[in-house]
Amino acid sequence: MKQQAFNPYLPAREYIPDGEPYLVDGRVYVFGSHDLFNGSCFCLGDYVAYSAPEDDLSDWRCEGVIYRKTQDPRLNEKDNVMFAPDVVQGKDGKWYLYYTLASNGVMSVAVSDTIAGKYEYLGVVRTPNGHVIGTSEGDVFHFDPGVLRDDDGRIYLYTGFSPRPGEGCDALMQGRRWEGSYCFELEDDMRTVRGEPTLVAPGIVSAKGTSFEKHPFFEASSIRKIGKKYYFAYSSVYCHELCYAVSDRPNGAFKCMGVLVSNGDVGLKGRKYLDAVSYMGNNHGGLVSVKGQWYIFYHRHTNRSSYSRQACAEKITFKNGKFEQAELTSCGLNEGPLLGKGRYPAYIACNLISAEGAKFSEKATEEEPCITQDGEGYDGPDPYITGMRSGSRAGFKYFDLTETHLISVLTRGAEGILTVTDGKKPLAVLVLSASEDWAPAKAPLLGGNPSSPLYFTFEGDGAIDFKEFTLI
């Protein structure tokens, strides 16, 4: 690698949630929606794509704006954002991008000669008689597409939205079908459906008595074929977790197999919801295999908001046809633990909690820590952790600390003590002085191992901002 790879893996001031990764011609391409920092809503930006060579997943390149929401003629004052997209290559060799505008329940399609765009508006998904699916009572409510081209060239579209009844979405549905995720087969024109849709993943109302009962479908359909089996990833009604189901055929008989990743590590090694390691929120992503290693792409929440989400990825173990739940780390795409020498920005924290623990980001108060940045846009200093009060903890995983002997930090705010541990034993104690500007503190670091976490816990009156730490 040219450099080490961190989470989030894209530029520090970029906000790309809902990432769908694909390996094409030696490069990994990621397509997602586009949040803005401190935005007032989900997905306010136009679509941009990023790619990296399969040999170096630290070297991400922005492919630029690949599609603007103003290109869709259905754009209006109400339907003015583009939610999570997905792409697939058609039989004609062209690439097709599927998405919905806001919550109108209609699936739009754009087309490009190359995977990285630029894409041009093509039309909407419809029946053979021209009816636009999602515009009438009884239609499937289109949302969060997943698209698959099977080995025989047939194209399948997975789509659906299934919130809990009574949570404010009933009026939005206006009589349309929202029992779970549905599979449509598409004609060669890539926008006309063939036959009737089939329910592949039931929502909370219809999941009872099925393999999905513990993890009912909510949103975020994503589909991959591995060998001869079909792997369907999705967000459950608990939002923070991406789950998966497996079938021998693309359009039905899926069995829920468990959790791929939780953006609070809930479920990992029996961890309960109240013991989440980070502030949580909705989740969306996909699977990709690169040079024999599987990864799960997902997103995290920042700024005490659901509207400033960043792209993350983790290695995930695939064995005997099953995935094991991945762990949140600061080094997901790196070749191994991070070096025990060098400067590390605090925004790569994979764990962040207050003295009372963590909750959903949108419910966090100004008394709780979060990752934020100064100013908006791409230009400016790196994001940092703000609002660390007594008992707050930031965690970073993993580092090779076998040759590390000293640690220094940059903080501002209250005076106090920052204790560094590996989760079991203390490694360093840093004394912080009160300061309005970024001020350093350093201390010896005691014995580490080749794959060690670092946890920073603040004790003191008031709050601190945490910018970075350096290992020496």
- Residue 103's pLDDT is 82
Q: Domain ranges for the chain, please list them.
A: 20-323, 342-471
- Residue 260's pLDDT is 99
The answer to whether 208 touches 142, Cβ cutoff 8 Å, is: no
The catalytically annotated residue of 86, 139, 179, 219 is: 219
Residue-wise pLDDT tens digits, 105-116: 999 999 999 999
Comparing CA positions, the residue from 20, 33, 17 lying closest to residue 69 is 33
- Residue 165's pLDDT is 84
Specify the range with the lowest mean pLDDT, choosing from 158-162, 167-171, 186-190, 259-263. 167-171
The catalytically annotated residue of 14, 18, 63, 465 is: 18
Burial class of residue 89, CB neighbours in 10 A (0-12, 13-18, 19+): middle
219 noted as active-site residue = yes
Query: What is the pLDDT confidence band of residue 80, given thresholds at 50, 70 and 90?
Result: very high
Assigned fold of 20-323: Tachylectin-2; Chain A (2.115.10)
Task: Retrieve residue 99's tokens.
Answer: 């998405």
Mean pLDDT on 203-213: 96
185 noted as active-site residue = no
Those residues whose C-beta lies under 8 Å from the C-beta of residue 370, and which sit 6 or more positions away, are: 279, 302, 303, 304, 352, 361, 364, 385, 386, 387
Task: Retrieve residue 300's tokens.
Answer: 């995290």
pLDDT score of 167 more than 90: no
- Residue 168's pLDDT is 67
Residue-wise pLDDT tens digits, 40-64: 999 999 999 999 999 999 999 999 9
- Residue 440's pLDDT is 98
Comparing CA positions, the residue from 143, 154, 19, 184 lying closest to residue 90 is 154
| Answer CATH for 342-471 from 3.20.20.150, 1.20.1440.230, 2.60.120.260, 3.20.20.70 | 2.60.120.260
- Residue 175's pLDDT is 86
pLDDT score of 36 more than 70: yes
Residue-wise pLDDT tens digits, 398-433: 999 999 999 999 999 999 999 999 999 999 999 999
pLDDT score of 280 more than 70: yes
Mean pLDDT on 381-389: 98
Helix and strand element counts for the chain (H, E): 1, 32
Mean pLDDT on 230-248: 98
What's this model's pTM, rounded to 2 decimal places? 0.97
Those residues whose C-beta lies under 8 Å from the C-beta of residue 143, and which sit 6 or more positions away, are: 83, 100, 103, 105, 159, 160, 161, 219
